[in-house]
Structure 1
Amino acid sequence: MSKALIRIALLAAVITGIVLAVLYRDQLSAEALQQWIGDAGSTGPILFFILLYAVATVVFLPGSVITLADGAIFGPVWGTLYNLTGATLGATLAFLVARYLAADWVEQRSGGLIKRLKNGVESEGWRFVAFVRLVPLFPFNALNYALGLTRIKLSHYIIASYLCMLPGGIAYTYLGYAGREAVAGGEGLIQKILLAVALLALVSFLPRLIAMFRRGPEVDATTLKQQLDSSEDLLLLDVRSAEDYIGEQGHVAGSLLIPLEQLKQRLDELSDYQERRVVTICRTDRKSAKAARILVEKGFADVHVAKMGMTDWLKCGYPVETQMPQEAKS
């Protein structure tokens, strides 16, 4: 069989699986899973949690039901092991399917923004995989296919996925276990519920923690002036209000104004700088630090904060403008 026919057959199998998953997804419930486990006997953990989780990942079935049911049936330790193994196996299968079906085609035809994003992802390698596993920027199932279109090493992808999905796997598996204990009225119920809540709180705090480590060092006024004068390919993002932008302090020529309060809604305007340097600036560095954290959490790869912002810029005697740029008026 030719390579083209194999690709067509594989694509047809994946599409068929996704269609069937959509049609029968209502039958995937915790009660149904428990019944299947009982019917499967000793092979239950392998057949209906590792393999089922893997298949569910490939065909875009939600893994949350399986994760919670796994914790309820097998407890926090074995449940976490089964969940992580199944999720990683499924993520790897989706990655390999995408790489086999379309990686060469994307390599030949990608350009512009797609090419920059692809190059940026590949340059970070396992670090990017670790980041998006710890900070869920994109839907898990779709992300696995998207990463397969890059040239990230398979071994790096698998190891980073398994290790960095561990915090979330532990938290949600334990939540399923705690839910079963709550229904059954087991001993130490309050402590188990409190631990489940604490684990979920830790997982929800991870994006902010990762953003703190991933953000680049602060840039002082002198360094920023040198970078701007040398025509470095960077975006100076001013996150003050429009009134402050043209007010007493003025603004740095060439900077882009997006007030902090509007930043999340206007991220599409910064898509060209997803993998390029961005320096945030405000009056000091309080708003700009918040803006930098938002950008890092949304996957911007090279974000810095202007140390003491316009205050230090003016102390150094550097020039400013007080008129709104023409493009901002239009």
Structure 2
Amino acid sequence: MRTGRVARIAVVVVWVVALVAAWRYGPDADAVRAWVGAAGAAGAVVYLGAYVVAVFALVPRPLLNAAGGLLFGLLPGLLLALAGGLAAALVQFMVARYVAGEAIARRLPPGVLAWLEGLTGRRALMAVVQLRLLPVVPYQAVNYGFGLTRAGALPFALGTLLGGIPATAALVLVGSGGTDVGLPVAVGGTVAAVGIAALWWLRSRRAARERRADT
């Protein structure tokens, strides 16, 4: 097993253990929400900044999204989690494009950059939506990888936002404690969105094979 993969697994394990410890020994949800509510807008700003830093530190985004629901409730938590994910994605996109492109290109898995470039050549917005709904490539790798392609920042941002809604909503809902009725709806919506993305991906592959056969 490669060192990078071991490191990613270790990071996930550490953060899951930390989450369980915080849940077991930390303050209850009502106390945390009261503290965040008293902080006002500063609490939201701190959460957004922490979200971006945490993505760079390879903290699993499901934990960050669920934390948004825990801290702010369903709707505010959803908006803030989406904003945090978008901000983190754009920062990494810009770092790859303008700051450390060569170093990042060397660290991407073999073939990922060429594959992303091929997707971008067809339709960047839908390619990003597809990869957010079907995370076959790690979140950070998509951010950095698209920063190295010719994709525009606006299609990348819109695709990240639209493709991230279903899974983010489900996790924020869990974090907010709304698991009685809302969770099945959120999970169903996520499954439906993933199904649509899978169909679109299969159709794209078939169209690509047909184009190659015609040449």
- The TM-score normalised by the length of structure 2 is 0.71
Larger radius of gyration: 1
SS of corresponding position for 2:150: coil
Q: For the residues of structure 1 that align with 2:39 and 2:117, how far apart are their CA atoms?
A: 48
Gapped runs of 5+ residues in structure 2? 1-7
Q: 1:79 Cα deviation (Å)?
A: 0.5
Distance change (3 Å), C-alpha of 1:95 and 1:115: closer
Q: For the residues of structure 1 that align with 2:142 and 2:117, how far apart are their CA atoms?
A: 16
Partner of 1:53: 51
Partner of 1:95: 93
Query: In the TM superposition, what whole-angstrom CA distance separates every residue of 1:210-251 from its partner, at most 9, and x where no partner exists?
Result: 22244439xxxxxxxxxxxxxxxxxxxxxxxxxxxxxxxxxx
Deviates more, 1:58-67 or 1:77-86: 58-67
Partner of 1:160: 159
Distance change (3 Å), C-alpha of 1:137 and 1:118: closer
Partner of 1:277: 208
Asked if the contact 2:96–2:104 (Cα under 8 Å) also holds between the matched residues in 1, the reply is no
SS of corresponding position for 1:83: helix
Distance change (3 Å), C-alpha of 1:278 and 1:80: same
Q: For the residues of structure 1 that align with 2:126 and 2:73, how far apart are their CA atoms?
A: 31
Q: CA RMSD in A?
A: 3.8
- Please tell me whether residue 212 in structure 1 is matched to residue 143 in structure 2: no
Distance change (3 Å), C-alpha of 1:135 and 1:105: same
Query: In the TM superposition, what whole-angstrom CA distance separates every residue of 1:137-176 from its partner, at most 9, and x where no partner exists?
Result: 1222332222222121011111221122112221211121
Residue identity matched to 1:134? L
Q: 1:103 Cα deviation (Å)?
A: 3.3
Partner of 1:65: 63
Q: For the residues of structure 2 that align with 1:71 and 1:59, how far apart are their CA atoms?
A: 21
Query: In the TM superposition, what whole-angstrom CA distance separates every residue of 1:10-48 from its partner, at most 9, and x where no partner exists?
Result: xxxxxxxx9xx89x856564648975983882211211x
- Please tell me whether residue 84 in structure 1 is matched to residue 15 in structure 2: no
SS of corresponding position for 1:147: helix
Instruction: Give the total of aligned pairs.
Output: 192
Q: 1:76 Cα deviation (Å)?
A: 1.0
Distance change (3 Å), C-alpha of 1:150 and 1:201: same
Residue identity matched to 1:82? L
Distance change (3 Å), C-alpha of 1:56 and 1:216: same
Residue identity matched to 1:204? V
| Higher-RCO chain (CA-CA 8 Å, sequence separation at least 6) | 2
Comparing both structures, which one devotes a greater share of its residues to strand? Answer: 1
Q: 1:127 Cα deviation (Å)?
A: 1.6
Partner of 1:247: none
Deviates more, 1:193-202 or 1:29-38: 29-38
Mapping for residues 256-295 of structure 1, pairs under 5 Å = 277-278=208-209
Gapped runs of 5+ residues in structure 1? 1-17, 180-191, 218-273, 280-301, 305-330
Asked if the contact 2:48–2:84 (Cα under 8 Å) also holds between the matched residues in 1, the reply is yes
Partner of 1:119: 117
Mapping for residues 1-330 of structure 1, pairs under 5 Å = 25=15, 27=18, 29=22, 31=26, 38=35, 41-42=39-40, 43-47=42-46, 49-103=47-101, 113=111, 116-123=114-121, 124-178=123-177, 192-216=179-203, 277-278=208-209
Q: For the residues of structure 2 that align with 1:275 and 1:212, how far apart are their CA atoms?
A: 11
Distance change (3 Å), C-alpha of 1:45 and 1:67: same
Asked if the contact 1:129–1:160 (Cα under 8 Å) also holds between the matched residues in 2, the reply is yes
Asked if the contact 1:67–1:83 (Cα under 8 Å) also holds between the matched residues in 2, the reply is yes
Q: Percent identity?
A: 22
Asked if the contact 2:132–2:164 (Cα under 8 Å) also holds between the matched residues in 1, the reply is yes
